[in-house]
Amino acid sequence: MEEEILSRMRRSIVDGAPQHAAALAQEWLQSGSEPLHAINDGFIPGMRHVGEQFGCRALYLPDVMAAAEAMKAATAVLEPEIQRRGLKRGVRGTVVLGTVQGDIHEIGKNLVGTLLIAAGFRVIDLGCNVAAERFAEAAEQAGADAVGASSLLTTTMVRHRDVIAAMERRNLRPRVKIIVGGAPVTGKWSAEIGADGYAADAQRALDLVKRLVAPSAGDAP
């Protein structure tokens, strides 16, 4: 019975069906089962499968977006019960994302966020046109492991420096890693401004974060 519902949970993520995922989470709680078990052995394996399929071009970005939506819907149902029981959900790390001040382009940043969620990271997305101070403030409040700052324009790319300076002012460096991305950004730029890394696309950004943020023992995927 339990195995069967866990399998349906996996399927709901792969299908990208938020309502179905939420209903399964509800059903699980009503039976009195342990909520972390549903996340770790039902929903997350679904996300892992989606990530793998995306990597080999069997699934595509809209599929990953839908899977992330389903994951979000399921965790929204389970999260209150996890907290009520005083449990702690194992996440691989917390990443604050945003597009720098003066820049409204966020497709790339959103893709990075989706892939991070799919891989089991907690993502705090600050949106676009984000002031440097706001990155640092959010990273401090959330106890983030990494901050990702995106820019599409050569004219806004310079704001990456401000983000790093704001992080330093709050003494968050070098503990909190900073990664930069966006069309004009290069590895050279990342090194020049003292960031911890740069990635050319969303998949590589995920690999970079995985490398920079060591997963703590026993955590999911």
Partner 1 sequence: MRPAIRLLDDALIARVLGEAFQLLSNPGIQVGAAEARDLLASSGAVVEGERVRIPEVLAQTCLGAAPREFALYDRTGSAVVRYGGDAVHFDPGSSCVNILDGETRARRSAETRDLIRLTQLAEVLPQFDAQSTAVVCSDVPAPVADLYRLYVVLAHSSKPVVTGAFSGETLQGMLDLLALDAGSPAALRARPRAVFDVCPSPPLQWTNFAAHNMVRLARAGVPAQIVSMPMAGATAPVTLIGSVTQHAAETIAGIVIHQLAAGGAPVVWGGAPSILDMSTGIAPVGAIETVMLNLACAEVGKHLGLPTHGYLVASDAKLLDAQAGAETGISAVLGALAGINMISGAGMIDSLACHSAEKLVLDAELIASTRRLLKGVETPTSTLATAMFASLPKEGFLASRETRALFRTEQHLPSAVIDRGNYQEGAVDDAFSRAHDAIPRLLASYSRPALNPALLAGFAELLARQAAKFGVTFSPPTHDNAAPLHANLR
Residues that bind partner 1 (CB under 8 A): 54, 57, 60-62, 104, 107-108, 111, 154-155, 158, 183-184, 186, 188, 201-203
Which residue is it, tokens 């696309």? 201
Task: Output the smallest distance, CB 110 to partner 1, in A.
Answer: 9
In the chain, beta strands by DSSP E = 94-99, 122-125, 146-150, 177-181, 197-198
Q: Which is nearer to partner 1, 58 or 76 (CB)?
A: 58
CA distance 142 to 123: 10
∠164-196-98 over CA atoms, to 5°? 55
Nearer to partner 1, 18 or 181 (CB): 181
Q: Are 99 and 68 in contact (CB under 8 A)?
A: no
Distance CA 71, CA 115 (A): 12
- Residue ranges of alpha helices (H) inside 147-201 are 159-169, 187-193
Shortest approach of partner 1 to residue 60 CB, angstroms? 4
CB of residue 201 to partner 1, shortest distance in Å: 5
Choose between 149 and 206: whose C-beta lies nearer to partner 1: 206
Nearer to partner 1, 2 or 192 (CB): 192
As measured in angstroms, the least distance from the Cβ of 202 to partner 1 is 5
Angle at which helices 61-84 and 2-15 cross, to 10°: 140
Between 144 and 157, CB nearer to partner 1: 157
**Hey, what are 140's tokens?**
């401090």
How near is the Cβ of 208 to partner 1 at its closest, in Å? Answer: 15
Neighbours of 175 (CB within 10 A): 11
What's the min distance (Å) between Cβ of 149 and partner 1?
Answer: 17
Of 20 and 159, nearer to partner 1 (C-beta) is 159
